[in-house]
Chains A and B, each alone.
Chain A
Amino acid sequence: MTSTHTLNRRMLLQATTLGLSSLALPRLTTVAQTPAPVDEITIDLSSEPASLAPSQVYEVNGWSVVHSIFDAPFEYDSNGQMIMVAAESLTQVDDMTFEIKLRSGITFHDGTPLTAQSLVASYQQIVNPDTGSSIAGNFSTITAVDAVDDLTARISLNAPSPWLPAQIAVWMLCLPPSAALATDTSNQPVGTGPYSFVEWKRGESITLAANPNYNNPAKGKPIANRVVFRFVTEAATRDADLQSGTAQIARSVPPDQIKQVEDSGAQVMQVPLSCVAFVRIATDVKPFDDVRVRQAINYAVDIDAIRKALLADTGQRLPNLFVPDGMGFDESLAPYSYDPDKAKSLLSEAGVSGLSTTIAATNSERKDLVEAIAGYLSDAGIQTTVEVQEVATFNGQWTDPSAPPLRYATWRPMFDPFNLLNLVFSEKGFLSRHKNPDIQALIDQAAVATDPATRAGLYQQLGKVMYEQPAALYLWDVTALYGTAAGLNWSPRPDDAIVPTLR
């Protein structure tokens, strides 16, 4: 009873301090600016992380826990600007060399000091074939990571890799040097982050404890002494948890439940993410090899109607894969319009009639969005059925020629467009079924362009080509809807990881 009471009072103080005027409470601006953390909060994730080893985590629920325990040398803010976390600086010595200088005085949860060996270990874990990390390829231009001195790590490359920092921010986190040769550090992860690991009850929850000395300007301070991440796959259950006070933060509130959540006194935070939604079209099978069919698909779907009806009018329709505030976004390029007649005439021009196809999506995505897309395609004459798959099945079928030709995907983070382009739309990508010499040339040029302005220009050029010769049905940039207990304040991140800290 007392603890609940304290919790609420503190939360209210925090809320008023930070001016959450929606609560319509008197502002007490004289209260201390850094409120003491609450005792415990519960966060409802939408699935259980597959691993807690940073090199093995490729989705947001895993990242939520991983970025709570570990620090990246640097991260990206919502404007795509790099912010230093465990590092003090990132220097591009020349086209083939990066140097990361870590902050001094940082210690791991077990008390050992953070040194440059940490990044060496992190790199080794990523490229060690025994760990089987799916993102080892993102680090393939690295020839060596060496500790130059106690706090400086030098990254040597065999090709200019301006997109590498965006990979480091997500996967090359500061690991203890002992993790260098470990294949899985999931069971007892030790990092330098705002929370230390307590326990993982498989199938149920992960508990972390606040790192009391943690105060990083980039990530802020822990907001609770204990954090319990629970795995709640059902959106309705997460919202019920939020409304009953069982959870204080819940991922992915369905837009239809915003009102209900708000009526219960909790809040819904809308946070634009560095994330793009699209329907990848397999361009290596008939009739999708015909660019007119792909254009028809882009004309056939009323993306804005879907956004308004099913996404609470968040995000915007995109002309290609480049996201607003990200590199390569071109404001002057208008997205496809909704023009079902044009879609039909393009289809008949291509000699396509009576086409039926399948669109695949994982069971962690929203089925209604995919059904709406399939509905519009069917109306335009492409009979489309929806196939909902397990995440593992879906991920195993990116290049499977017998898999559904259309696949709905959301890709994050888009700190740097290289990752998505290189993996999914380049003929070299291990997730790709796309081959287009115009696109390939631009992807390859941009990959080695070290001057940011040149690179942005190349990506805008690429964006135009990808608009004219679509390789996907381009959808929208994704906005996260987090449910948060009244008065609880935390700093959301553009990568959609829930790290319960406050800057």
Chain B
Amino acid sequence: MSTITAPRLRATTSHQWRLPSAGPIAAIAFATLLIVLGILGPSMFAHDPNQISLTDRLSPPIGFGGSWAHPLGTDQLGRDLLARVIAGARISLIVAISATVVAGSIGVTIGLVGGYFGGRLDRFALWLGDVQMAIPFVVVAIGVGASLTPSAVNVVVILGLTGWATYARVARLAAKPLRHAGYVDAARLAGARHGRILFRHLLPVIAPTLLAIAGQQAGAMMLYEAALSYLGLGVPAGTITWGGMVADARDTAQTAWWATVVPGLAIVLVVIGFNATSAVLSRRVINGRSTRRSA
């Protein structure tokens, strides 16, 4: 009896795995830096991100007339923007990553089940995905925001419930052709139950693709979190978030641009960082696939 193995996606050799260009590297490095800072947290810095100092309000960043006391300047209440951006990184990352995990888990499960079983279940899964995609997340967010007190958990739930369809579609498409692949049939003959086949035999095959999507989606989640906080539908008022910082500094946007630009730039750079990571990952997956086909 011949051994049947799952198709190998990783066939990386040095000529296929080219280093990404400088742009993505910078973006990824910046995102990594913020993640590290976000995890290590404000403890590294002398400034308390909530320390109000009305005499120092709206001091400009270094290079625009500011001093090293507040390298990125201060906001409308004299709070240190560097300390706040770092403190904001934490909640932004927690929300973005948890929302990605929630959305990914829901989406992958629905997609795999639909693709694998086919038939009515598949049609239902597809329909569910269409429904989700037809409802804009802001509408859900307003609904939830109106009925519940603001919390980070709400934001994760909102983003998770409105962001799973992409994963479901990809997982379904990937699972469909594999449902009768030789190694899957073999596993079934060997007595494996559906759950085992789904998560032990199908999931690993599509995992790299999903990871690439997750990288890109995490950036989107961060952007959505910022949007919700900007609209006041996100986390509670006292929590420091980048979107909330931009919103609070609106009144001074034209007189003291840094109070909005600094957190805004943080959002932009991290989203680019996530996207660059995702692009590098997917290039790797595609390279892996083309290698497999030619082999």
Contacts and interface: CB of A to CB of B under 8 A. Distances in A.
Interface of A: 234-236, 254, 256-257, 259-260, 302, 305-306, 308-310, 363, 367-368, 371-372, 375-376, 378-379, 385-388
Contacts of A386: 237-238
Interface stretch (B94-102, B168-176, B194-202, B249-257): B249-257
Interface stretch (B6-14, B19-27, B47-55): B47-55
B131 to A, nearest CB: 27
Contacts of B54: 302, 305-306, 308-310, 372
The DSSP consensus for interface residues of chain B is: loop
B41 interface: no
Contacts of B58: 256
B255 A257 contact: yes
Given A368-B248, A372-B77, A388-B237, A378 B255 contact: no
A260 B232 contact: no
B76 interface: yes
Given A235-B251, A256-B255, A375 B238 contact: no
A375 B79 CA distance: 10
Interface in B141-169: none
B223 to A, nearest CB: 21
B253 A371 contact: no
Contacts of B251: 235-236, 254, 256-257
A260 B52 contact: no
Contact of B52 (A235, A256, A376): A376
Contacts of A371: 52, 77
Contact of A256 (B50, B55, B237, B252): B252
Given A305-B55, A306-B54, A371-B52, A260 B254 contact: yes
B51 A375 contact: yes
The DSSP consensus for interface residues of chain A is: helix
A375 B80 CA distance: 14
B182 interface: no
B283 interface: no
Contact of B57 (A259, A309, A379): A309
B236 A387 contact: yes
B235 to A, nearest CB: 12
Contact of B77 (A236, A368, A385): A368
Interface in B200-254: 232, 236-238, 248, 250-254
A235 B77 CA distance: 18
A15 B77 CA distance: 37
Contact of A367 (B50, B236, B248, B253): B248
B255 A259 contact: yes
Contacts of A302: 54
Nearest 4 pairs of A and B residues by beta carbon: A375-B52, A309-B54, A254-B251, A385-B238
Interface hub of A235, A363, A367, A376 (most chain B Cβ within 10 A): A367
Nearest to B75: A368
Given A306-B54, A375-B77, 7 more contacts: A236-B251, A257-B255, A260-B254, A260-B255, A310-B76, A368-B248, A375-B52
B57 to A, nearest CB: 6
A314 to B, nearest CB: 15
Interface hub of A235, A367, A368 (most chain B Cβ within 10 A): A368
18 contacts: A235-B250, A235-B251, A254-B251, A256-B76, A256-B251, A257-B252, A257-B254, A260-B254, A305-B55, A309-B54, A310-B76, A363-B232, A367-B237, A367-B248, A371-B77, A375-B50, A378-B50, A386-B238
Given A235-B251, A236-B253, A387 B77 contact: no
Given A256-B252, A368-B248, A387 B237 contact: yes
Contacts of B57: 309
Nearest to A366: B251
A254 B249 CA distance: 11
Contacts of B52: 371-372, 375-376, 379
A386 B238 CA distance: 6
A262 B200 CA distance: 67
A310 B57 CA distance: 10
Contacts of B51: 375
A322 B275 CA distance: 58
A371 B55 CA distance: 15
A99 to B, nearest CB: 49
Contacts of B238: 385-387
Interface string B108-142: 00000000000000000000000000000000000
A283 B83 CA distance: 36
Contacts of B256: 256
A375 B76 CA distance: 13
A257 B58 CA distance: 13
A234 B236 CA distance: 19
A261 to B, nearest CB: 10
A254 to B, nearest CB: 4
Interface hub of A236, A309, A372 (most chain B Cβ within 10 A): A309
A47 to B, nearest CB: 14
B193 to A, nearest CB: 50
A323 to B, nearest CB: 24
Interface hub of B250, B251, B252 (most chain A Cβ within 10 A): B251
A58 to B, nearest CB: 22
Nearest to B150: A388
Nearest to B51: A375
Contacts of A308: 54
B73 to A, nearest CB: 15
A387 B237 CA distance: 6
B198 to A, nearest CB: 45
Interface hub of A256, A257, A306 (most chain B Cβ within 10 A): A256
Contact of B76 (A236, A368, A376): A368
Contacts of A363: 232
A21 to B, nearest CB: 26
B237 A236 contact: no
A367 B51 CA distance: 16
Contacts of A235: 250-251
B273 to A, nearest CB: 29
